[in-house]
């Protein structure tokens, strides 16, 4: 080798060596980022399963008999901020006290064979509950698995007010983390056990969360909302602490996302100074993808594939029917960032990962 070329040769070797070290370091960092330990702990005395990520409490799967459905509650960011409303379970100062049935993160529906599974709570008079309201009863926790991903499998039963089973439910939750971002994947299969089970078209559904008041959309006026039974709820103007805004995969923002279709919607804002994105993703295998969104600025954020009549001003109606033994599966991903508002590119990446996984 010519001595005059030695410096260039060693410089080339050093470049490739440093590049290899950088790539290895980035790979290790990515591996550590995506393999945060998830621990699931079934506390039977409290009828809940705690989800611990990286040593920090994240959420609880609550299956208490005092609930009309199973919920994830509370749900915290990596920074420890609650993205769920506290009321009526553990009220926090300044919270609104409307819609007592909207607790945590849930999946149910407002009209199944004429029974309301959406708007049911113990705040409803017993005489009404016994006639109109359905209940989702917890049967058992079938599987718990801790590790890089936490997996919880549960069996539930959708019951009419008289106790007749309409649907058998099997739900699998996948809990994971990527750095300060938390991910919940919910895969729910409903199987008709009654002869015919119809999800009649209503806006009151289906996969929803009641979120922290700081993520509400700012408004200077009172707003009134009418439910499927004709009951009206009036929401007061928000304070200056509300910081939320919606952005859909289709580029629609604010309250205008209500009733539109989208692959995902991002609710972003600040909770006590912490930047947070709360995203729900639909899945291409779900019925009538991309779904309609029952997303309100006052605190309700829900995906509803069956509410076409309300969302299209009566132009389209969907009455979805299962016959005995038939099943339908719903797949949803919830993404919760901490310390930053996720970019559209990052949301799309996480959504595509969800599509490929299930």
Render pLDDT for 141-200 as a digit per residue (tens, 0 to 9).
999 999 999 999 999 999 999 999 999 999 999 999 999 999 999 999 999 999 999 999
pLDDT band at 6 (very low <50, low <70, confident <90, very high): very low
Say if residue 26's pLDDT is above 90: no
Q: Which residues contact 120 (CB under 8 A, 6 or more apart)?
A: 68, 69, 101, 129, 133, 134, 135
Give the residue, 167 or 36, on which the prediction is more confident.
167
Question: How many Cβ atoms from other residues are within 10 Å of residue 355's Cβ?
Answer: 15
Residue 5: the pLDDT is 44
Domain boundaries, the chain: 38-357
pLDDT bracket for residue 274 (50, 70, 90): very high
Share of the chain above pLDDT 90, in %: 83
Q: With cut-offs at 50, 70 and 90, classify the pLDDT of residue 18.
A: very low
Average of per-residue pLDDT values in the chain:
90
pLDDT band (50, 70, 90) for residue 326: very high
Between CA 57 and CA 261 the distance in angstroms is 33
The model's pTM: 0.87
d(Cα 245, Cα 222) in Å, to the nearest integer?
18
- pLDDT tens for residues 226-248? 555 555 566 565 667 899 999 99
pLDDT at residue 311, as a whole number: 97
pLDDT tops 80 at residue 25: no
pLDDT at 147: 97
pLDDT band of 203, cuts 50, 70, 90? very high
Beta bridge pairs of residue 301 = 209, 295
Specify the length of the chain in residues. 358
pLDDT of residue 240: 72
Least confident residue range of 20-24, 69-73, 91-95:
20-24
Give the burial class of 234: count Cβ atoms within 10 A of its Cβ; 0-12 exposed, 13-18 middle, 19 or more buried: exposed
- Does the pLDDT value for residue 329 go beyond 50? yes
Where residue 250 falls among pLDDT bands split at 50, 70, 90?
Answer: very high
Q: From CA 164, how far away is CA 161, in angstroms rounded?
A: 7
Q: Is 60 in contact with 74 (CB distance < 8 Å)?
A: yes
Q: For 235-247, b where at least 16 C-beta lie within 10 A, e where not — what string?
A: beebeeebbbbbb
pLDDT for residue 117 is more than 50: yes
Q: How many other CB atoms sit within 10 Å of the CB of residue 224?
A: 8
Query: What is residue 342's DSSP assignment?
Result: P
**% of the chain residues with pLDDT over 70:** 85
CATH number for the domain whose boundaries are 38-357: 2.70.98
Q: 208: which residues sit within 8 A by CB, 6+ positions away?
A: 102, 105, 106, 107, 294, 300, 301, 302, 303
User: What is the band of 30 on the pLDDT scale with cuts at 50, 70, 90?
Assistant: very low
Cα–Cα distance between 217 and 244 in angstroms, integer? 5
* pLDDT band with cut points at 50, 70 and 90 for residue 68: very high
Distance, CA of 266 to CA of 257 (rounded, Å) = 10
Other CB atoms within 10 A of residue 312 CB:
14
pLDDT score at 29: 41
Q: Which residue has the tokens 């410089």?
A: 11
The pLDDT value given to residue 227 = 54
pLDDT at 4 over 60: no
Average pLDDT, integer, range 29-56: 84
**Alpha carbon 229 to chain centroid, angstroms:** 25
Whether the pLDDT of residue 115 is over 90: the answer is: yes
pLDDT value of residue 223: 61
């Amino acid at each position: 080798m010519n001595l005059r070329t030695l410096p260039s040769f060693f410089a080339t070797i050093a470049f490739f060596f440093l590049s290899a070290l950088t790539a290895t370091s980035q790979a290790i960092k990515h591996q550590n980022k995506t393999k945060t330990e998830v621990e699931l702990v079934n506390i039977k005395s409290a009828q809940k399963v705690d989800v611990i990520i990286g040593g920090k409490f994240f959420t609880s799967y609550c299956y208490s008999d005092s609930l009309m459905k199973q919920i994830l509650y509370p749900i915290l960011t990596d920074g420890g901020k609650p993205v769920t409303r506290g009321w009526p379970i553990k009220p926090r100062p300044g919270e609104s006290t409307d819609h007592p049935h909207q607790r945590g993160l849930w999946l149910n529906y407002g009209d199944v064979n004429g029974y309301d599974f959406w708007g049911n709570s113990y705040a409803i008079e017993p005489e009404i509950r016994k006639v109109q309201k359905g209940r989702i009863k917890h049967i058992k926790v079938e599987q718990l698995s801790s590790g890089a991903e936490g997996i919880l499998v549960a069996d539930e039963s959708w019951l009419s007010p008289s106790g007749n089973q309409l649907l058998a439910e099997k739900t699998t939750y996948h809990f994971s983390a990527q750095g300060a971002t938390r991910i919940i994947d919910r895969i729910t299969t409903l199987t008709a056990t009654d002869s015919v089970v119809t999800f009649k078209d209503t806006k009151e559904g289906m996969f929803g969360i009641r979120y922290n008041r700081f993520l509400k959309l700012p408004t200077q006026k009172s707003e009134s909302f009418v439910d499927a039974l004709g009951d009206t709820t009036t929401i007061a103007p928000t304070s200056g602490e509300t910081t939320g805004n919606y952005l859909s995969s289709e580029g629609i923002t604010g309250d205008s996302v209500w009733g539109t279709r989208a692959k995902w919607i991002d609710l972003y804002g600040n909770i006590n100074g912490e930047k947070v994105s709360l995203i729900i993703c639909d899945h291409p295998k779900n019925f009538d993808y991309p779904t309609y969104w029952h997303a309100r600025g006052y605190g309700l954020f829900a995906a509803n594939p069956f509410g076409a009549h309300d969302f299209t001003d009566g132009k389209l109606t969907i009455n979805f029917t299962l016959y005995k033994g038939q099943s339908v599966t719903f797949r949803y991903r919830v993404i919760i960032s901490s310390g930053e508002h996720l970019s559209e590119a990052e949301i799309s990446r996480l959504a595509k990962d969800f599509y490929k996984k299930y």
